[in-house]
Amino acid sequence: MWVERTGTRTYTGFSARGASVSIGPASEGAVFTPGELLKIALAACAGMSSDAPFARRLGDDYQVTIRVDGAKDMAEDRYTAITEHFEIDLSGLEDDARERLLKVADRAIETTCTVGRTVKNGATVEHTFGPVVGAVGE
């Protein structure tokens, strides 16, 4: 994965599979900020991790929207808390079945969401700087 600069404080992120995403400050319009990408990654990871338990109980065509928000400490320039809210219709389940499903879904998120586990437990981030890979004269 990599990002390429496309302008002042704007980048395009790429995956080896051909996907891309525009990244920049909110003032640039139709781009994601890095903080938004972090929150979307957390929400998508939680959704993907809980998909099997929900589909098994509610059917493959179940609908869910996961809203995500983060409290930001402006002085430290970091998020201090991030909340994911699943908007999902569980009204067809009895109380005990609903509680069991939510426990299973929560356990699936806690044990298999790589992004969430990384954010909660922290990760070492290193920066290296060097010449362009494959540059002339190398």
CATH of 33-121, one of 3.30.300.20, 2.30.110.10, 3.40.50.10860, 3.40.50.1820: 3.30.300.20
Phi, psi of 67 (to 5 degrees): -95, 140
Quick one: pLDDT at residue 136?
A: 58
Instruction: Give yes or no for residue 138 having a pLDDT over 90.
Output: no
The per-residue pLDDT for range 22-77, each reduced to its tens digit, is 999 999 999 999 999 999 999 999 999 999 999 999 999 999 999 999 999 999 99
Between CA 37 and CA 19 the distance in angstroms is 14
Q: CATH 3.30.300.20 occupies which residues in the chain?
A: 33-121
* Of 20-29, 47-56, 112-121, 123-132, minimum mean pLDDT range: 123-132
Looking at residue 101, the DSSP 8-state letter turns out to be H
Is the CB of residue 53 less than 8 Å from the CB of residue 108?
yes
Give the burial string for 39-57 (b: 16+ CB within 10 Å, else e).
bebbbebbbebbeebbeeb
Per residue in 65-101, pLDDT (tens digit) is 999 999 999 999 999 999 999 999 999 999 999 999 9
pLDDT bucket at 116, cuts 50 / 70 / 90: very high
